A and B are shown apart, each in its own frame.
Chain A
Amino acid sequence: MLQIIDLSSSYGRIQALRQVSLQVEEGEIVAIIGPNGAGKTTLLNTVCGLVRACGGEIRFQGQDITNMPTHRIVRLGVSQVPERRQVFDTLSVRENLLLGAYQRFRHERRSTIEADLQQVCELFPLLQDRLDEPAETLSGGMQQMLAIGRGLMARPKLLLLDEPSLGLAPLLVREIFRIILELRRQGTTVLLVEQNARAALRVADRGYVLETGHVTMSGTAAELARDEAIQRAYLGRSVSGNHGTRVGASEGGKEAGRR
């Protein structure tokens, strides 16, 4: 569905991505893990056309979308839930959600879009009661749900999630990952960028490790989770002192990546 071939991009003179290649197949959840500043967010932004690629190619459903304007990429069915949410804070929750479907108003009936809004509310029942309140009055966790809901309102074929668990309480982190699994069940393809490698690898089918702008490792999520180097670097677990495989997503968190 999404093919990235030898992609390079840079911010000014700092090269952020070096010949990154990766693939996302339809119906998959693919996780990109790696330390802070590895270029994970840049990668998603380059896919969306927010950052210019200076080399390589991005193909979505066979079509070359490299350096296409963002609004056209969105129209093709790629939706990004950005890092730190970027909700429209003085607009109401409902307006935020409807703007998520901005591209669809052109061809689709309002009733279909309203029905989707209802579906998003079922997925995030907490939002339902606060539809007419400004988004800035929501807690961080609920803003994250709003951001995901807004992303879903575009009915994306491919959903790009950037650090959805960043800064959230453990309980909410678990909730967010539950929703990611639910989305997959409904047929949405997800490309997930996470520092919370443990939680990400638990929901993902496959994963890539991005370090200083290039892919250093890739494989199925299970393979990656078993890999010793990854365990040391990202899962915060000494190889010998294995204290069970069922460690809640809540315990991972950002610290895991730094240890």
Chain B
Amino acid sequence: MSFTALRSPRAWLGPLSVLALIAVVFFLGERMNFGPQQYMQLILDGLRGGTIYALIAMGFVTVFNVTGIINFAQGAFVMLGAMLAVSIYDSSLPLMPAAKLVVAVIGGIAGTTLIGMLLERLTIYPARHSSPLTLIIITVGAYISMQGLALIAWGAKPYVLPAFTTLDIADKTFRIGGVVLKAQSLWIWGTTALVLVGLAYFFERTLTGKALRACAINKRGARLMGISVNRMSLLAFALAAALGAIGGIVVAPTTRPTYDMGLVLGLKGFVAAIIGGLVSSPGAVIGGLLLGILENLAAGVTRSGMKDIYSFIVLILVLLYRPQGILRAGRKPVEAG
């Protein structure tokens, strides 16, 4: 943003509202006698949640870039990843707990990826000549059916996936200057960092990744290169499903996975993707982290039950005032990577 741009009142709106928000948070926090420690704790926990949103948001971005549709079934992938992993872990496989967890993680991701590909072939592919709106509504239907099937398969009760470090419900915690850090948070951040590096490598260095980006930039041009757009759409769904599943699995030990966990997580991933402009993966990551911190701070100084409300207020505000996302990358699809 240049200095001349700052002269327009609209440009001030963003920074001013952020400042106002911080002021409100501090004002409310003051009344609860919050010190730096409390704020740090809220931010840290927010970052953990935000990382999951970022993973889910990248799934939205990948599918949107390649196919032009918003895949509201993304939340179902999150739920399926967690539930499949839990089921494998709870099964009677004759393995050590650690080995079982590894199998559960891999199985959860692989199973969800397969389901994602199946979903694309069974619902999106047959309707590929329809308008994006039709396809988006199909994904909503797909989400609802998958959640329904999950209810039949797993029931309504919450499940437990042990923390990765302790292989127990109780996680190892670190205390750093009065701030409590769960070991699972480190798993979440480490996994996400690995996924980001892997994705960057895939999109920047491999032919298939470049073909996927080419589809996102110019579908007609891509087809003329002999790239099968249908196959890329399948690949995008596979990738999105894997990303969702990874998010669901690493977050599972910090929540109690249920058949309907995908709804809120999926929608928040969508909010994160919108904050980031819907077309950029780095934007999705920043959007996810910001959203996580914001909702956790806001809920921390008011009531924790109101977390979701704040997220959707953010969604509405972004759609009203920054529909192109906070990175201003929204003028044209910039990259899928």
Interface residues of A (CB under 8 A from B): 48, 50, 69-71, 74-75, 79-80, 82, 86-91, 95, 98-100, 102-103, 105, 150, 154
Contacts and interface: CB of A to CB of B under 8 A. Distances in A.
Contact of B224 (A70, A91, A95): A70
A154 B226 contact: yes
B225 interface: yes
A74 B211 CA distance: 15
7 contacts: A71-B228, A82-B224, A86-B224, A90-B335, A98-B207, A99-B222, A102-B226
A87 B221 contact: yes
A240 B207 CA distance: 58
A74 B213 contact: no
The interface size bin for chain B is: 10 to 19
A99 B227 contact: yes
A181 B214 CA distance: 30
Most buried by B among A69, A75, A99, A103: A99
A220 to B, nearest CB: 30
Nearest to A154: B226
Q: Which of B221, B228, B334 has the most CB of A within 10 A?
A: B221
Contacts of B255: none
Most buried by B among A80, A82, A90, A91: A90
Interface of B: 207, 210-211, 213-214, 217-218, 220-228, 334-335
Nearest to B230: A69
Given A70-B226, A71-B227, A88-B214, 14 more contacts: A69-B228, A70-B223, A75-B226, A86-B224, A87-B221, A88-B218, A90-B213, A90-B334, A91-B213, A95-B210, A99-B211, A105-B207, A150-B225, A154-B225
Chain B, interface SS category: helix
A87 B218 CA distance: 8
Contacts of B221: 82, 86-88
A89 B213 CA distance: 11
A91 B214 contact: yes
Contacts of B334: 90
A69 B224 CA distance: 10
A88 B223 CA distance: 12
A89 B333 CA distance: 10
A71 B227 CA distance: 6
Contacts of B226: 70-71, 74-75, 102-103, 154
B249 to A, nearest CB: 33
Contacts of A95: 210
Given A86-B220, A90-B334, A102 B213 contact: no
A182 to B, nearest CB: 22
A88 B213 contact: yes
